[in-house]
Amino acid sequence: MSERFGERTRSALSARGPLCVGVDPHAALLAAWGLTDDAHGVREFGLRTVEAAAGRVGFVKPQVSFFERFGSAGFAALEEVLAAARAADLLVIADAKRGDIGSTMDDYAKAWLTPGSSLEADALTVNPFLGVGALDGSFALAAEHGKGVFVLAATSNPEAAGIQRSITASDETVSAAIIGEVSARNAAASGTGEWGSFGFVVGATVDWAAAGLSPFGPVAPILAPGFGAQGATPADLRLRFGSMADAVIASESRSILSAGPADLATAITARAAEYLEVARA
Amino acid sequence: MSERFGERTRSALSARGPLCVGVDPHAALLAAWGLTDDAHGVREFGLRTVEAAAGRVGFVKPQVSFFERFGSAGFAALEEVLAAARAADLLVIADAKRGDIGSTMDDYAKAWLTPGSSLEADALTVNPFLGVGALDGSFALAAEHGKGVFVLAATSNPEAAGIQRSITASDETVSAAIIGEVSARNAAASGTGEWGSFGFVVGATVDWAAAGLSPFGPVAPILAPGFGAQGATPADLRLRFGSMADAVIASESRSILSAGPADLATAITARAAEYLEVARA
């Protein structure tokens, strides 16, 4: 069996720091980069971003919807981007937010987490609205192949609070219940002292108290979008995540990508250094 | 502007009855049909199912994950299946359960609901975990093009109850809150007496009282998986959905598809007649 994803993440965070570069070829950025708004454009955008990220950060996060917009041609482009990123020893988080039940959900996991699949990534973001239990096949598949899963737990967009802060039958918030259920699976699947491979998506600007969250164990990777353009800064890493800050993968997209292709590597180097400084403080 | 999706659904239900044929080429069914477990197999499976459904039912529902399993090649197969289904005047519900925020979510909607897109369908299933408000761009895009959106509201798998029956700040279940929020958008977007174009996914075996649900308005299409192999029968249409039964699209997959390619058309004809009898009673 491959090394577990939780431990691979721990090593990458330690070696390269928390910055994760989002691969978000939306129409406005394609135009800003002088690329065409089609499958060729998203392929170029993705490959150039991977090239700039390689050796400078530990993680990249392609946003699947920006490729899916171009159907099968967009997916073919994404396959090239995923392969290039994995070949460059980046940990690749496919941000697809898939969610379903039974064999349907299992096939999403197979698409993204099976070694040799054309869409192979290192981890996949998933949606727990149909129940954390509906993701058990995905957890099992991920564990089998040394892959990871990031479960949406608490997002920072204001519209999300209505559902995510609702109160379960166990008198906790939906967000807290999700973290509890997934953490129990991490405890069962990981060795003592190891990081769990089933991580969480928690927005960088989420108010933990308001969301009913508190530090949890076993430690598992926390994918935190919302750094950069959405307002969180490297200094927020400790401010927002406290004792869990060391597990945070800080995802930035627009704030870095808007540097444009010529200045992208420089922008990534500078930003990665800022995060490393905070992380090692 | 095209005729609104709600009204198109109403016409199709009236003309052909509630049966929707799921296009679910999972590995076991591919084997049973003598097809290869690859993109070629799912293409053949999908095209034969569409051919058998054409003229016999109003709706087909391709399950995206079974195509996504084969990456860009699977999506190319799906594009052919979607195009064949639309050319055959079937209303095509892409069961992709996409869910995200902002421009990311908008691009999912663009992929599936833009006229001329390679993945064009008539409607898309979406996941509201990030908030119904996060779907507003999708609602707007759907309305602009006469397309539909089905929002996951109450599913029948047991793992789902934990989140979906949690209690919101307005003291209703999450499922009820979703239906309320989407219904308000239907009321704003549809003319008096018209059906809304923003529908719901409500499992056929959901206990409405336990889920905190009651009949709602404006009337909007209810996509109900769980008929057939999961246990609900045509008679359950009125038993389970009461006064809303006329708005139900009853989705069956395995129960019909297991007839195999040679007997599929006969199986669809027989099952569609059972539903029509109940619906017109």
- Domain at B28, CATH number: 3.20.20.70
Candidates A155, A137, A166; CA nearest to A97 is A155
b/e B160-184 (16+ beta carbons within 10 angstroms → b): bbbbbbbbbeeebbbbbbbbebbbe
Q: Is A107 in the B-facing interface, judged by CB distances under 8 Å?
A: yes
Residues 6+ apart with CB under 8 A from A96: A64, A108, A112, A124, A125
Cβ <8 Å between B75 and A70: no
**In chain A, which residue's Cα lies nearest the Cα of B112?**
A69
A151 contacts A182 by C-beta, under 8 angstroms: yes
How far B158 CA sits from the closest chain A CA (Å)?
8
DSSP letters of A6-34? HHHHHHHHHHH-SEEEEE---HHHHHHTT
Choice among A61, A97, A110, A147 that is catalytic: A97
Quote the pLDDT of residue A2.
66
Number of domains within chain A: 1
Specify burial of residue B45 (Cβ count, 10 A radius: 0-12, 13-18, 19+): buried
Beta-ladder partners of A123: A93, A148
Specify burial of residue A7 (Cβ count, 10 A radius: 0-12, 13-18, 19+): middle
Cβ <8 Å between B99 and A129: yes
Cβ <8 Å between B103 and A26: yes
| Distance, CA of B59 to CA of B122 (rounded, Å) | 10
Residues 6+ apart with CB under 8 A from A49: A21, A23, A60, A81, A257, A264
- Structural domain that includes position B70: 5-279
* Strand duo A19-23 + A148-154: pairing: unpaired
Q: Is A110 in the B-facing interface, judged by CB distances under 8 Å?
A: yes
Query: What sections of A33-166 are H helices per DSSP?
Result: 39-53, 64-68, 71-87, 102-113, 136-145, 161-164
Kindly report the CA angle at A94 between A206 and B120, in degrees rounded to 5?
Answer: 105
Of A118, A132, A178, the CB nearest to B72: A118
Query: What is the mean predicted confidence (pLDDT) over A3-14?
Result: 96
| Distance, CA of A242 to CA of B123 (rounded, Å) | 43
- Residues B74, B80, B83, B89, CA torsion sign: negative
Q: Hey, what amino acid is at B195? A: W
Q: Is B254 in the A-facing interface, judged by CB distances under 8 Å?
A: no
Q: Is B126 in the A-facing interface, judged by CB distances under 8 Å?
A: no
Q: Write the pLDDT tens digit of every residue in A59-84.
A: 999 999 999 999 999 999 999 999 99
**In chain B, which residue's Cα lies nearest the Cα of A70?**
B111
Query: What is the mean predicted confidence (pLDDT) over B196-221?
Result: 96
| ipTM of this predicted structure | 0.97
Beta-ladder partners of A167: A173, B167
Q: Write the pLDDT tens digit of every residue in A199-209.
A: 999 999 999 99
Q: Write the pLDDT tens digit of every residue in B22-80.
A: 999 999 999 999 999 999 999 999 999 999 999 999 999 999 999 999 999 999 999 99
The two tokens of residue B49 are: 């199912």
What is the overall mean pLDDT for chain B?
96
The two tokens of residue A261 are: 């292709």
| Distance, CA of A151 to CA of A129 (rounded, Å) | 10
| Distance, CA of A126 to CA of B161 (rounded, Å) | 18
Question: Is B1's pLDDT higher than 50?
Answer: no
Choice among B61, B97, B110, B147 that is catalytic: B97
Quote the pLDDT of residue B2.
66
B63 contacts B94 by C-beta, under 8 angstroms: no
Residues of A in contact with B73 (CB under 8 A): 72, 118
Q: Is B67 in the A-facing interface, judged by CB distances under 8 Å?
A: no
| Distance, CA of B204 to CA of B155 (rounded, Å) | 8
Q: Is A171 in the B-facing interface, judged by CB distances under 8 Å?
A: no
Does residue B96 sit in helix, strand or coil? Answer: strand
Residues of A in contact with B117 (CB under 8 A): 69, 71
Any long-range contacts for A230-238 (C-beta under 8 Å, 24+ apart)?
Answer: A230/A156, A230/A204, A230/A205, A231/A204, A231/A205, A232/A204, A232/A205, A234/A271, A234/A274, A234/A275, A234/A277, A234/A278, A235/A278, A236/A204, A236/A205, A237/A18, A237/A275, A237/A278, A237/A279, A238/A278, A238/A281
What is the overall mean pLDDT for chain A?
96
pLDDT band at B228 (very low <50, low <70, confident <90, very high): confident
Residue found under tokens 């421009």 = B103
Radius of gyration of chain B measured on its C-alpha atoms:
18
pLDDT band at A225 (very low <50, low <70, confident <90, very high): very high
pLDDT band at A195 (very low <50, low <70, confident <90, very high): very high
b/e B91-112 (16+ beta carbons within 10 angstroms → b): bbbbbbbbbbbebbbbbbbbbb
Does residue B142 sit in helix, strand or coil? Answer: helix
CA distances from A278 to A17, A116, A235 (A): 9, 37, 7
Quote the pLDDT of residue B215.
96
- Bigger pLDDT: B231 vs B9: B9
Catalytic annotation present for A97: yes
Q: Write the pLDDT tens digit of every residue in B132-169.
A: 999 999 999 999 999 999 999 999 999 999 999 999 99
- Exposure of A222 in the CB half-sphere (CA atoms within 13 A): 28
